[in-house]
Amino acid sequence: MTTTTSIQPTPPAGIVASPGLARGDALVAMMGLTTCLLPFLVPAGPANTAPADAGILLCIVLSVLWAGREHLPIRLPYAAGVAGLMLGGAFAAYISIAPFGSALVLIQDLLLFAWGAALALGRHNPAIVRAVTVSWCRTAAIYSGVMAAAYLVGFNALTGVSAKDGVRAPYTFGDPNLAGNYLVVSLFVIAACKHPRSPGVRLIAYLLVLLAIGFTGSNGAMLTLMVGLVLSVAVTSYRRRGAVAGLAVLATAALAGGLTAGFVMPRVDLTQLREEAAGSVPLLRDSFGRSANSSGERATIVREGANLFLQGDAAGYGPARTKATLEATHAPYVKEAHNDYLATLLERGVIGGIGLLVFGVAVFARCLRLVFGNLPKTYAELVPRPWLLAVVGPVMATAAGFYEVLHFRHLWTWLGLVAALVLAMQDQHDQHDQHEVAR
């Protein structure tokens, strides 16, 4: 991993840069390394810990020391929403006398929130943003190439393919859906950062990541990929040709979707297609071929979860308690929620639900800033197309409907990057205002 300390940090308004401000060498290197470790989640340690967690913890400590040494103001992006989620979870755990596992979930909440806040310090030092984005782009491309090659030669010890998931590849994530989600997000990070810089090499990186996504057999990954691609074309059209062009793309996509749903799908025998897929290529059998069962299972989970919420109270049952509560109530289908919206209401109650709403609004507002605003020159060189980074927001919001994404480490890495870029934009705006007043 390459770190560049020659990029001088942009001090916030009212603060004079000191020579030591650019010397966050250890922090920059550690953040880059931690980003490289994000895909390596198995074998898992106690409480599902991974090597990246040690890096996250060390980065948090180094960030506090660096910020204290340089007397930097520390912002806590997404604090109101996370506070609501944690307060709702703690209150639910207290009321229901939940076991220690619920406390571990709250500790994870705090750790990931602090990781995002540490990354947000990139507003003071672009080298942090560079280390994280370059490490992410390079890791995703190389990782995808290695895993795709291992899958093609049948090296299951590396791809993680087992009887549990059929021929779907979970890689080093332990879950094909989690692997697919990381790779989809990585695809848009590569596009936003235009890294690798060479268009030809970048095209190869795109193809490798897409191939690796395909081998996960994740229907959710394919759906979120389509959502992201449509939005990418729309926001890029807006940036290059104006609002009319962007709205035209969205309208065309909506019309195509409506025509497909209204005229094409009723005339297509999905059952027959699934049966044909189930009896053909193994990867199709274990992805599209199982989509009916998967959809049915998720519908059952949502129905049972909704009944559980209506039969309970507004306090919630405690973090990570959905499966245990369903089991205790003798529900016919005992599973985790696999849905962040439902899981938050069930486990963290109305307080947590409000917190999730506030959190979502905060993320949405920052994504809008990236779509409509312009980065300072130093940051624009690192992330030339920040509007594509904003596309990850709707991608993850969609994924949250069938995964529980709030504890995905790569989600919080993205959130921290977004916060750093938006804060850098705000600092530039504040400096401009100060210059205007001085004139």
Report the range out of 148-152, 218-222, 257-261 with the highest average pLDDT: 148-152
In the block, which residue shows the tokens 């490798």?
208
Mean pLDDT of the chain: 84
Q: Is the pLDDT of residue 13 over 50?
A: no
Confidence of residue 347 (pLDDT cuts 50, 70, 90): confident
Q: Is the pLDDT of residue 380 over 80?
A: yes
User: Would residue 2 count as lying in a domain?
Assistant: no
AA letter at 381: E
User: Would residue 19 count as lying in a domain?
Assistant: no
Confidence of residue 311 (pLDDT cuts 50, 70, 90): confident
Residue 273 half-sphere exposure toward CB, CA atoms < 13 A: 9
- Looking at residues 70-77, what average pLDDT do you find? 89
Burial class, 180, CB count within 10 angstroms (exposed 0-12 / middle 13-18 / buried 19+) = buried
Please say whether the beta carbons of 359 and 140 come within 8 A: no
User: Would residue 10 count as lying in a domain?
Assistant: no
- The predicted structure's pLDDT at residue 267: 58
- The predicted structure's pLDDT at residue 4: 36
Give the separation between CA 305 and CA 337, rounded to whole angstroms: 7
Confidence of residue 297 (pLDDT cuts 50, 70, 90): low
User: Would residue 318 count as lying in a domain?
Assistant: yes
Cis peptide before 196 (omega within 30 of 0): yes
Q: Which residues contact 37 (CB under 8 A, 6 or more apart)?
A: 50, 51, 52, 55
Token pair belonging to 279: 């009896």
Residue 350 dihedral angles phi and psi, to the nearest 5°: -65, -35
CA distances from 309 to 96, 110, 260, 325, 342 (A): 14, 26, 35, 11, 9
- Looking at residues 285-291, what average pLDDT do you find? 54
Confidence of residue 435 (pLDDT cuts 50, 70, 90): low
Q: Is the pLDDT of residue 174 over 60?
A: yes
- The predicted structure's pLDDT at residue 283: 60
Cis peptide before 43 (omega within 30 of 0): yes
The candidate with the shortest Cα–Cα distance to 139, out of 197, 211, 187, 198, is 187
More confident: 114 or 266: 114
More confident: 347 or 143: 143
Give the separation between CA 349 and CA 87, rounded to whole angstroms: 10
- The predicted structure's pLDDT at residue 15: 38
Q: Is the pLDDT of residue 279 over 70?
A: no
User: Would residue 17 count as lying in a domain?
Assistant: no
Token pair belonging to 355: 């917190």
Confidence of residue 180 (pLDDT cuts 50, 70, 90): very high
Region for residue 40 given its phi and psi (left: phi exceeds 0; alpha: psi -120 to 50; beta: otherwise): beta
DSSP code of residue 44: -
In the block, which residue shows the tokens 């990867």?
283
User: Would residue 371 count as lying in a domain?
Assistant: yes
More confident: 305 or 427: 427
Give the separation between CA 379 and CA 415, rounded to whole angstroms: 16
- Looking at residues 94-118, what average pLDDT do you find? 87
> Burial letters for 270-308: b for 16+ Cβ neighbours within 10 Å, e otherwise?
eeeebeebbeeeebbbbbbbbeeeeeeebeebbebbeeb
More confident: 63 or 290: 63
Residue 49 dihedral angles phi and psi, to the nearest 5°: -75, 160
Cβ atoms < 10 Å from Cβ of 251: 11
- The predicted structure's pLDDT at residue 272: 54
- Looking at residues 168-176, what average pLDDT do you find? 93
- Looking at residues 337-353, what average pLDDT do you find? 88
- The predicted structure's pLDDT at residue 146: 97
- Looking at residues 79-91, what average pLDDT do you find? 94
- The predicted structure's pLDDT at residue 200: 96
Burial class, 126, CB count within 10 angstroms (exposed 0-12 / middle 13-18 / buried 19+) = buried
Give the separation between CA 342 and CA 18, rounded to whole angstroms: 48
User: Would residue 272 count as lying in a domain?
Assistant: yes
- The predicted structure's pLDDT at residue 166: 82
- The predicted structure's pLDDT at residue 20: 40
Alpha helices (H) in 217-339, listed in sequence order:
219-241, 243-259, 270-278, 282-286, 291-311, 322-328
More confident: 267 or 212: 212
- The predicted structure's pLDDT at residue 96: 78
Token pair belonging to 288: 């599209």
Q: Which residues contact 278 (CB under 8 A, 6 or more apart)?
A: 284, 285, 289, 290
Give the separation between CA 408 and CA 338, rounded to whole angstroms: 13
In the block, which residue shows the tokens 């609501």?
84
Confidence of residue 141 (pLDDT cuts 50, 70, 90): very high
User: Would residue 71 count as lying in a domain?
Assistant: yes
Token pair belonging to 99: 């076991």
Confidence of residue 319 (pLDDT cuts 50, 70, 90): confident
AA letter at 147: M
Domain count, the chain: 1
Host domain of residue 397: 24-438
- Looking at residues 261-270, what average pLDDT do you find? 60
- Looking at residues 272-279, what average pLDDT do you find? 52
